[in-house]
């Protein structure tokens, strides 16, 4: 019994220490595991090497996933969840997905930004490295236009509900027309950066169903995440 009490006391202490560490302005950069991504050398490149056009679909998909986690841990608190800025810092979705925008991006990523001796944005270059920089860049530039997402959300909701109905009834449904519908929606959703493919939940759910036509639940959950973000 006393062991239990001690354990819960210890966790209360641990929580308050963590809160104190967090309420302090400087949050240490969180390392990003980039092992799955191809090496890009030491010297900083001028252009994103993980774009779908240059690196191919598999590398690009890994970059988006790794970049999402790197972004959420290191950038979202200032630049906003899903890269939709709440006004604290610029909206990064508009930086052009080409060399010109990349140069601007890496300049800020590496050095951060200091104004009148106050660090508005810490530099991440040395701590996170180049692979993480480009993975985060890939995630940022492939965010779908959130207004376009809001417009298609009734359609996505209908698809989601159909998938959930099959799942809960234990039925087998025909997902081929659903994949077609998701692809059509996905093709019409653009990025704000000019990157050719938006990695939207429609895109993601379609890929899940193409890999496994009976993955109703997983595809539905993916759509649900996007629906709550669009609202």
Region from 4-12, 48-56, 77-85, 191-199 binding ligand HEC, contact rule CB under 6 A:
77-85
Structure tokens at 101: 């925008």
93 vs 160, beta carbon nearer ligand HEC: 93
Minimum distance between the CB of residue 72 and ligand HEC, rounded to whole angstroms?
Answer: 10
Torsion sign (Cα): 154, 61, 53, 103: positive
The total number of residues written for the chain in this structure: 231
Longest dimension (CA), the chain: 64
Which of 57, 120, 168, 225 lies at the binding interface for ligand HEC (CB under 6 A)? 120
Which of 48, 74, 206, 222 lies at the binding interface for ligand HEC (CB under 6 A)? 74
Minimum distance between the CB of residue 101 and ligand HEC, rounded to whole angstroms?
Answer: 9
Closest residue by Cα to residue 223 from 207, 190, 201? 201
Region from 4-12, 104-112, 167-175, 190-198 binding ligand HEC, contact rule CB under 6 A:
104-112
| Tokens 């140069």 found at | 103
Residue 199 and residue 146: Cα distance in Å, rounded?
A: 12
By CB under 6 A, tell whether 124 contacts ligand HEC.
Answer: yes
| Tokens 């009834």 found at | 169
By CB under 6 A, tell whether 92 contacts ligand HEC.
Answer: yes
Chain positions contacting ligand HEC, by CB under 6 A:
74-75, 77-79, 89-90, 92, 95, 105, 108-109, 113, 120-121, 124, 136
């Amino acid at each position: 019994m006393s062991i239990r009490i001690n354990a819960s006391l210890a966790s209360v202490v641990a929580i308050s220490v963590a809160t104190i560490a967090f309420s302090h302005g400087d949050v240490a950069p969180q390392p990003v595991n980039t092992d799955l991504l191809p090496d890009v050398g030491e010297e900083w490149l001028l252009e994103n090497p993980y774009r779908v056009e240059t690196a191919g679909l598999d590398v690009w998909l890994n970059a988006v996933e790794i970049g999402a986690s790197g972004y959420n841990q290191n950038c979202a608190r200032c630049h906003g969840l899903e890269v939709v800025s709440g006004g604290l810092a610029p909206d990064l979705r508009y930086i052009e997905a080409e060399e010109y925008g990349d140069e601007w991006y890496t300049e800020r990523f590496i050095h951060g930004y200091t104004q009148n001796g106050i660090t508005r944005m810490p530099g991440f270059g040395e701590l996170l490295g180049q692979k993480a920089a480009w993975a985060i860049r890939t995630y940022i530039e492939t965010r779908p236009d959130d207004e376009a997402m809001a417009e298609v959300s009734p359609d996505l909701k209908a698809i989601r509900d159909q998938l959930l109905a099959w799942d809960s009834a234990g039925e087998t449904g025909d997902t081929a027309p659903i994949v077609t519908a998701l692809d059509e929606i996905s093709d019409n959703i653009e990025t704000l950066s000019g990157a050719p493919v938006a990695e939207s939940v429609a895109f993601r759910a379609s890929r899940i169903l193409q890999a496994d036509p009976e993955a109703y639940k997983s595809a539905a959950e993916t759509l649900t995440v996007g629906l709550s973000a669009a609202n």
